[in-house]
Structure 1
Amino acid sequence: MNFFHQPKAVLAVAFACVIAFMGIGLVDPILKPIADELGATPSQTSLLFTSYMAVMGLAMLITSVVSSRLGVKRTLLIGLVVIIFGAGLAGASDSIGAIVGWRALWGLGNALFVATALTAIVTSSHGSVREAIIFYEAALGVGIAAGPLIGGVLGSISWRGPFFGVSVLMALAFLVTAFILPEGGTRPQPSSLRDPFRALAHPGLRGVAFTALLYNFGFFTLLAYTPFPLAMGAQQVGLVFFGWGAALAVASVFIAPRLQERLGTLSAALLALMGFALVLAAMALWTQNKAVLAGGVVVAGLFLGINNTLVTEMVMNAAPVQRGVASAAYSFVRFAGGAVAPWLAGFLGERINDHVPYWVGAAAVLAAVAMLASSRRHLNHIDAVLAHAPA
């Protein structure tokens, strides 16, 4: 597909997505510097991810309600403003508690922005839903890859640098979105707070959501805990996670569609989850070997990229509900895993040893394999839906 053969509005949202997704990996290179400078433990520092994900998951319940009443553009802009303030105030803080709190505000803004952005791209882009999702995942991948790299460069100056960097970049994204995205974008039917819970009554969507909750234990163990046993400088950690994000982007856009065509959506997703579980198991066995940890992070990006694209497609087609509602319901459940995993990994690493968080992550991803396999009969229609989607 031609990524640039899209309406200007879609390109504007995609650009803002790139910057928004930088925020996920931007703090990885500075987790250890923050812990060292503020005297925080790994589990306390990992709360930067927990507060962000917990608030983001809860806020997902209101995204479809807000966007259906305010419209896509206003919701996106509100989300961007909240991120600007949350990131900036986190950078200006002097205690781990304050940073965790402002990171939670950042999560609220990200929820309003991310869920609405996916709906905006799917609704407004040229081509099929599948192509729009790949386009969205490409923006996600570029942002995730760039985040640790920029975080490493700014973090080598000061741990505050990445937070202020996000504020500046989000201000730029705000201007681009404000001036390029049309005012009268597509507005979905008004929805209620009950709609996401009703959507989860569909066994296919529920199965995919809980699959994502489980594999997010592995995902955020990798993301939030690995900088501690790696024990490298901010720039070195940034380069490792840049490799992870680059692998994720390549797999999302190029490998996932080919595997999907050859194996089918469900089989390809199950294969990617098994691969990720094996990587975490290898990291659990050889946690003291920095080369294995760094290589495992990068290889995991390939499996996570494949899985992200395929799971997003399943979510959008699993249940006969509005896409914004499906996205809100799915994101609410999966971010619960993202909220618990960082703190749990830090706690287990402190209380037992560095190997245990990876074993727990691998076991959770294997449970995700079982969950998705058990939902197969409710998701077998996905490939038929995609095959008959308009080009």
Structure 2
Amino acid sequence: MGGFVTSPTAAASTKIDAAVLKIAGVVVLGAIMSILDITVVSVALPTFQTEFNASYATVAWTMTGYTLALATVIPLTGWAADRFGTKRLYMVALALFTIGSGLCATADSIGQLIGWRVVQGLGGGMLMPLGMTMMTRAAGPERIGRLMAILGIPMLLGPITGPILGGWLIDDYSWHWIFLINLPIGAVALVYAALALPKDDPKPSESFDFLGMLMLSPGLALFLFGVSSLPETQSFSATRVWLPMLIGALLVIGFVLYSFKPEHPLLDLRLFKNRKLTIATITLFVFIIAFMGAGLLFPSYFLQVGGESTLHAGLLMAPQGIGAMLTMPIAGMLADKVPVGRTVPFAMALIAAGFFTFTQVGTDTSYWLLCGSLFVMGLGMGGTMMPIMTSALKTLGHAEVARGSTLVNILQQIGGSVGSAVMSVILTSNLNESDPVPGSNPPVTEAQLAIAAQHSDQIKAQVPPALFEKGLQFVADSFASTFWVGFALVLATFIPIAFLPRKREKTVAGDDATTGAATPVIVH
């Protein structure tokens, strides 16, 4: 097993020492690159349409290709970490992501850009599960809450700072810089990783599950491809949606049935025998669906109803990040001392309270009210995601950490893709019900005309005020209806939250026979 070994003394200590903070610094740098890249690229899609003279459906593959690469590589990470060691694999992932970023900046066609985005995704997909594995091993069960709170900062702030950074780079420089900015960060992260991470000493004892890989990786990629095609096709009956989803689902189901037979499966579903892990991962999965769906809707409201620029929409999302930064360190400390079942419900109630405001939005809803609601949601998010993740991982033994973090990351990836696709489909479907503009050629709905007029003074000058107001009101009502679905998903998260542990878990340091690592043992 790789070399991030915690002695019983270190595991028992509740102080975050310099050695652990060094590892956390490496992981946070990698997480910032990986997560920011997703949100930064999302705001560049209109620019790609113009630069490469391509349709939105085509340029959207710069996002979809990255996501599919993540889904393909994440299942391999647990085995590869055990086989090659976490330090060298993490450095390979950093290098692959950084090289992919540089290649993206050189693309002179949309096809090349999509291809290089896949290369980026192959590296980016390993960064988060490897980072979680390293931090969990370094911290030990008594400190994992505070360490995961550190890792949670880029996870929560990425969707907020990404649009701000992307809007600034594209407006003041060029789209190439949303990729070039990763080169110096990646170089620093590689040097830092080489110096700060302990030396690997892998002792491979597991064979690679080729049959499992042939089912799980293509299955996840095909399923997410179908889900990602929903916003474009607007129908589950489209062959491009249901066929890959069906084949992907069958492959994943086949893997689930098969995975209990081999001694060392690609994805260790036996970990779900741990009831606390199962409840925590279900809670996290439902929360991610709601969180990622909402994360897509909030800036879209400011862009389409408020008529704000990409940069201003990103800035209006900042209160959410500020709220998360305030509560996340507190939640991290509490996660090490107080059962998450006693703290997460209160944090989730803050999210629900803030989210409810958005179900009432109109064309002239006060930004002060919306930003205040985002701040309240941020307070709740800071006390929700990482404590749940901590609950999922802190009951695992040293030898199970790599597999457990891989499992959690796959569920996050699926939940995020499903949440984004569902919200996009519902919103677009609502907008498409708007009345067509009489005499328009090609046909345009009143809602589409109102959105276009918000971003073009020339178009707005040609649209009768009554028609503009009617179309804009329909857009606002469409967002409000979609926000109700998101609010329902937020409320649904309270169901698994009710089963989170409410009693103090006692951990004692046990010796791992193979590694001498401190293995957390749960006393029931």
User: Could you state the TM-score of these two structures normalised by the residue count of structure 2?
Assistant: 0.62
Residue type of the alignment partner of 2:125? A
CA distance in 1, matches of 2:110, 2:424: 15
Q: Which range is displaced more, 333-342 or 119-128? A: 119-128
Shift of 1:387: 10
CA distance in 1, matches of 2:204, 2:151: 19
CA distance in 2, matches of 1:204, 1:266: 11
Q: Which range is displaced more, 149-158 or 214-223? A: 149-158
Matches within 5 A, 1:159-178: 159-178=175-194
CA distance in 2, matches of 1:30, 1:212: 29
CA distance in 2, matches of 1:241, 1:23: 17
Shift of 1:314: 0.6
1:23 corresponds to: 37
Shift of 1:325: 1.4
2:376 corresponds to: 299
CA distance in 2, matches of 1:331, 1:296: 29
Task: Could you tell me which runs of 5 or more consecutive residues in structure 2 were left unpaired when the two chains were aligned.
Answer: 1-13, 208-263, 431-477, 510-519
Against the structure 1 CA distance between its residues 63 and 51, is the aligned structure 2 distance closer, same or farther, given a 3 Å change threshold? same
User: Could you state the TM-score of these two structures normalised by the residue count of structure 1?
Assistant: 0.81
CA distance in 1, matches of 2:63, 2:293: 10
Shift of 1:153: 2.3
1:5 corresponds to: 18
CA distance in 1, matches of 2:267, 2:102: 34
Matches within 5 A, 1:1-391: 5-6=18-19, 8-27=22-41, 29-30=43-44, 52-53=66-67, 55-93=69-107, 102-125=116-139, 128-138=143-153, 140=155, 146-157=161-172, 158-184=174-200, 190=206, 192-231=264-303, 232-255=308-331, 257-258=333-334, 264-286=339-361, 288=363, 289=365, 291=367, 292-318=369-395, 322-352=400-430, 353-373=478-498, 375-376=499-500, 379-380=501-502, 383-385=504-506
What do residues 35-62 of structure 1 show as CA deviations (whole Å, max 9, x unaligned)? Answer: 6776755x88776655544543453322
Shift of 1:18: 3.8
What do residues 216-271 of structure 1 show as CA deviations (whole Å, max 9, x unaligned)? Answer: 12211232333322112232233234443333233211255358867x41132122
Against the structure 1 CA distance between its residues 190 and 131, is the aligned structure 2 distance closer, same or farther, given a 3 Å change threshold? farther
Where 1:346 maps in the other structure, the secondary structure is: helix
Q: Which has the higher contact order (CA 8 A, sep 6+)?
A: 1
Shift of 1:9: 4.4
Shift of 1:278: 3.2
Aligned residues of 1:221 and 1:342 also touching (Cα < 8 A): yes
Give the share of equivalent positions with the same residue, in percent: 19
Against the structure 1 CA distance between its residues 187 and 357, is the aligned structure 2 distance closer, same or farther, given a 3 Å change threshold? farther
Shift of 1:97: 7.3
Larger helix percent: 1
What do residues 151-192 of structure 1 show as CA deviations (whole Å, max 9, x unaligned)? Answer: 332132334432332344223322322344343367797584
CA distance in 2, matches of 1:170, 1:239: 26
Against the structure 1 CA distance between its residues 40 and 215, is the aligned structure 2 distance closer, same or farther, given a 3 Å change threshold? farther
Residue type of the alignment partner of 1:384? E
Q: Which range is displaced more, 200-209 or 62-71? A: 200-209
Task: Could you tell me which runs of 5 or more consecutive residues in structure 1 were left unpaired when the two chains were aligned.
Answer: none
Aligned residues of 1:88 and 1:163 also touching (Cα < 8 A): yes
* Count of matched residue pairs: 384
Against the structure 1 CA distance between its residues 214 and 23, is the aligned structure 2 distance closer, same or farther, given a 3 Å change threshold? same
Shift of 1:349: 1.5
CA distance in 2, matches of 1:44, 1:280: 32
